[in-house]
Structure 1
Amino acid sequence: MSKRVAIITGGSRGIGRDTAERLGREGFAVVVNYAGNETEARAAVDAITGAGGDAIAVRADVAEVDQVSALFDAAESAFGGVDVVVHAAGTMYLSAVADIDFDALDRMHRTNVRGTFVVGQQAARRVRGGGAIITFSTSVLGLRAPTYAPYAATKGAVEAITMILAKELRGRDITVNTVAPGPTATALFLDGKDEETIANLAKAAPLERLGQPSDHADLVAFLAGPARWINGQTIRSNGGIV
């Protein structure tokens, strides 16, 4: 069999970057998607190829149908097909409901909600049998933290899209699941938070630490590989926060 192939959206940084490198170590040929940071995307590719793996970087805005279609074309051209799609690209805008900037809200919806539909459409059409589609939500949906309503609403949409897509792919032997991280030490999460806030969030889980991108990458590797009987699920990867 040819090497299994994974597309990682948002693969240049954070959880997406760790996931790309982890799947590279698992023997996948990896397509690292990025929106604008080519330097980081190239670094991710170099890390994978330097360890003996296969990888390419492809720029695409996940909300643009033509660009995402070209992303899948590039994967098929370089490696012969697509087996796993990990949709890790996303943005976060926080605000109290009373103070929402609707332009910022619309920009986040474009990436997080429209982007999930666009990537999901191509994945539904092109992922090969025996493959997996994995999206990212957030554990803040259950925590209901103030100022997170705009972001949590978009991730609620991601969960709905993912769970319905799992049913729509009946008979295709493709699993579809969502990973919902808790507080994780990424630039997206840490930006704008003071040390006291970060320390308090680190203590929220019984394990008393922030998650690391590698924690979630481990879970994605499981869902992308041996976890063939886990389907249509949202998995709260949060160290036990309830």
Structure 2
Amino acid sequence: MGIDPNRPSAARVYDAFLGGRHNFAADRVVATRAVELVPDLPRIARANRAFLHRAVRYALSLGIDQFLDLGSGIPTEGNVHEVAQQIDPAARIAYVDIDPTAVLYAQDLLAGNPHAVVVRGDLRDPETVLAGHPLREVLDLSRPVAVLMVAVLHFTPDSPGLTAALRGYRAAVAPGSLLAISHATSSGTDPHAVERVADLYNRTGTPLALRSREQVAGLFEGWELVEPGLVYGPEWRPDPAEPVVRDPARLLTLAGVGIARD
């Protein structure tokens, strides 16, 4: 499992936005340039992380105690297993990422945790991802599961393969399961700044596929959006204790949670 420290990684750049330590100089160069273009990016990353936490707690409030985190990224403080197992120590989590750096760090972090695993896999291949022995040891797909695709699908351009993969996950999970998505968008923001960030990512070999509100909503095909629907991340069921975000459109991210009704 090779890691090239000279080639920027989307997962490590995101870790840099969050103030993490699992990144290299090449990643920090991209992160610094991106912040020059859109100064709110570290704030956006933190708001996105807060949405993830709220989505996990929402799932637990419905009695869902198992999580499939696709494109999980590099472990930083407040991972899914930390949030979930603080509430329910028996909660089960499977992390999936294609980035070898993310997988290696997660394996080290999860050592000794019997209810959490990490596997290297491509979210566009649900058949292989879901058939893996480590994952099936942790997740019981005959029961509801929360599928998390947080800040990952904007690195996955539109294609028949993506559409088929999303349908594959929907078909594989039990009724009552959830799908949580957060996704970068240029809606309601300065499109020129966002396009410059997209161009920066494209030059690192990790294309950034910005989608409109309608396009992000289409990713929930087969799922029924729960209230408040598809909104800017800070607007999705904010915790009373969280500071009020008065300019959510500046945070570039749409978020929503859908439920599988049948």
Q: TM-score, normalised by structure 1?
A: 0.50
Question: Equivalents in 1 of 2:138, 2:153: separation in Å?
Answer: 28
Instruction: Say which of 130, 139, 159 aligns to 1:79.
Output: 139
Structure with greater helix share of residues: 1
Aligned AA for 1:45?
L
* Residue 178 (structure 2) pairs with residue 132 (structure 1): yes
* Matches of 1:79 and 1:138, distance apart in 2: 29
Among the aligned pairs, what percent are the same residue?
10
Q: Is the 8 A contact 1:135 1:179 kept in 2?
A: no
Aligned match for 1:25, one of 86, 103, 118: 86
Residue pair 2:92, 2:115 contacting (<8 A) in 1 also: yes
What is the RMSD of the two structures over their aligned residues, measured on CA atoms? 4.4
Structure 1, unaligned runs of 5 or more: 93-106, 168-173, 183-204, 224-229, 233-242
What is the correspondence of 1:33-112 to structure 2 with a 5 Å cutoff? Answer: 33-36=96-99, 37=101, 38-46=103-111, 49=113, 54-70=115-131, 74-81=134-141, 83-88=145-150, 90=152, 108-109=156-157
> Which residue pairs with 2:169 in the alignment?
123
Q: Check whether the contact 2:68–2:94 (CA below 8 A) recurs between aligned residues.
A: yes
Q: Give a deviation string over 1:153-195, Cα, whole Å, max 9, x none.
A: 2775332221x3225xxxxxx969657547xxxxxxxxxxxxx
CA distance in 2, matches of 1:16, 1:179: 25
TM-score normalised by structure 2 residue count: 0.47
SS, match of residue 121 in structure 1: helix
Structure-2 separation of matches of 1:114 and 1:21: 35
Residues 128, 57 of structure 1: CA spacing in aligned structure 2 closer, same or farther, 3 A cutoff?
same
Q: Show CA shifts across 1:10-50 (max 9, x none).
A: 2232789733432333332000111122222214424x93x
Q: How many residues align?
A: 166
Residue 210 of structure 2 aligns with which residue? 152
1:166 to 223, 231, 239: 223
How far has the Cα of 1:85 moved from its partner?
0.5
Letter in 2 for 1:11: S
Gaps of 5+ in 2: 1-62, 199-208, 235-244
